[in-house]
Amino acid sequence: MGNNDSDVIQFIHGLRYEDLPQSVISHARRCILDLCGVAVGGTTTELSRIIRNHAEANFASNSRSVRMMFDGRRVSLPGAALAGGMTIDSLDAHDGHVLTKGHVGVTVLPVLLALSDAGYIQDDREFVTALVLGYEIATRAGIALHASACDYHTSGAWNALAAAAMGARALALSPAETREALGIAEYHGPRSQMMRCIDHPTMVKDGSGWGAMAGIDAALLAQDGFTGAPALTIEDVALADLWGDLGQRWTILEQYFKAYPVCRWAQPAVEAAMSVVREHSIRSEDIRIVKVISFHQACRLATREPGTTEQAQYSLPFSVSILLSRGVLGTEEVTGDALRDAEALRLSKAMELHESELYNSRFPSERWAHVEIELFDGKTLKSAPHTARGDPETALTDAEIDRKFVQLASPVLDQARIDAIRDCVMSLGRADGRLGPLLDVMLRPVSA
């Protein structure tokens, strides 16, 4: 065991609530509330319904079974992690990090809830600490994987290490067992190719549920004596600098929040189009054609006539067009009847996507787009370059995070439960330390 992985393992087991700056604790609460809203909204998707039924049928309840998020049925720990991760991932509105080109909380929260419901985490301060730990491990593992592997892998590939780290801490594994857990997780993590799902959007999405399942199972296997190959994203000396600032630089503060439930790469174009509408008060019926100038990966989000919510969430043309047609872009705009919106489909099918070498050069640390909108009267309206709202530099306010949570949850939950979730999340680390009320409001079925 080298110095780097020894330091990481010491961080996994040694981090304490008292070590966390207040800004980190506050941000952790924001992350949890945001993820809760996405999870509740996600339960309405066909993807979530299938995966939760699959978990119940194939991840049998046992002596340490736990409840699935907003479902209540009992399954094994890996089953609950799988179902929760994929439920959040089913609605592309969860937090992320620009340099990982992916998402952390989607795996971290379901794993944390499963470990807590199993009784391994019983204190609200430990709940917050373990959540922060997951963000710190996953973010660095994601950046490390992109720096060391030739392909662009889904978030599950590196989120698996966070799940293993949280599992190792909760199960009180030894340092040697923790190293094995990290190695198992990295080896078995789903190194699925993200651009395949960008080009052909389906329910496999970002692999985060699979990473959650693989990571928590890695910790359980290590507890039983199973061994793994070294986790190179942690142990490779060429990547040591990525891990040297654990406990000093808090990457949870670098996460972005999404203003819309579509791929982050599409959102700069959404913002640019909306800016033109606001400035010139145009209607979609006035528009002949929209030209979007953005970076290569955004232009790969090219589905014109989405037939499923997955295709709609990974479509830049449809995301921009449904916003222009309806004036809003929420869950209802990427599901159901919205996929047959004639005006949105007219604009989507005609939209032109163009790459900018300048914007390409700034990706992934920056994502930019601008639009040119040609009207039927012959005028051309141009936007300024836009990034997506919700990055640390363009942060959503606490009120905006709360409003997003309510908008996602209100079609599914009554007001009393919405208020109870908010109260439980925002009191983490401040109240009597009990997790029971939080677990109750987050694990009960949505219909209860």
Are the CB atoms for 185 and 215 separated by under 8 Å? yes
Could you say which residues of the chain have pLDDT below 70?
Answer: 1-3, 448
What would the pLDDT profile of 130-166 be if each residue is shown by its tens digit?
Answer: 999 999 999 999 999 999 998 899 999 999 999 999 9
Q: Which long-range contacts (CB under 8 A, 24 or more apart) does 437-443 make?
A: 438/124, 438/127, 439/67, 439/113, 439/116, 439/117, 441/417, 442/36, 442/69, 442/70, 442/113, 443/67, 443/68, 443/69, 443/70, 443/71, 443/72, 443/113, 443/117
Collect contacts of 185-188 with beta carbons under 8 A, ≥24 apart. 185/160, 185/161, 185/214, 185/215, 185/218, 185/219, 185/228, 185/231, 186/141, 186/160, 186/161, 186/228, 186/229, 186/231, 186/232, 186/233, 186/234, 187/228, 187/229, 188/160, 188/214, 188/217, 188/218
The token pair at 47 is 């993807």
- pLDDT tens digits for range 367-397: 999 999 999 999 999 999 999 999 999 999 9
Looking at residue 218, its pLDDT comes to: 98
Q: What pLDDT, on a 0 to 100 scale, did the predictor assign at position 5?
A: 80
Domain regions of the chain by residue span: 3-259+407-443, 264-382
Class of domain 3-259+407-443: mainly alpha
pLDDT the model gives residue 1 = 52
> Which residues neighbour 208 within 8 Å (Cβ) at sequence distance 6 or greater?
85, 86, 88, 89, 102, 103, 106, 107, 154, 155, 156, 159
Residue 2, pLDDT score: 56
Q: CA angle 73-116-242, nearest 5°?
A: 120
- Could you tell me if 289 and 174 are in contact, meaning their C-beta atoms sit under 8 angstroms apart? no
Q: What is the pLDDT of residue 433?
A: 84
The fold for domain 264-382 equals 60s Ribosomal Protein L30; Chain: A; (3.30.1330)
Alpha-carbon span 51 to 418, nearest angstrom:
24
Q: What pLDDT does 431 receive?
A: 72
Percent of the chain with pLDDT over 90: 96
Does residue 331 contact residue 91 with C-beta atoms inside 8 Å? yes
Query: pLDDT digits over 112-127, tens only?
Result: 999 999 999 999 999 9
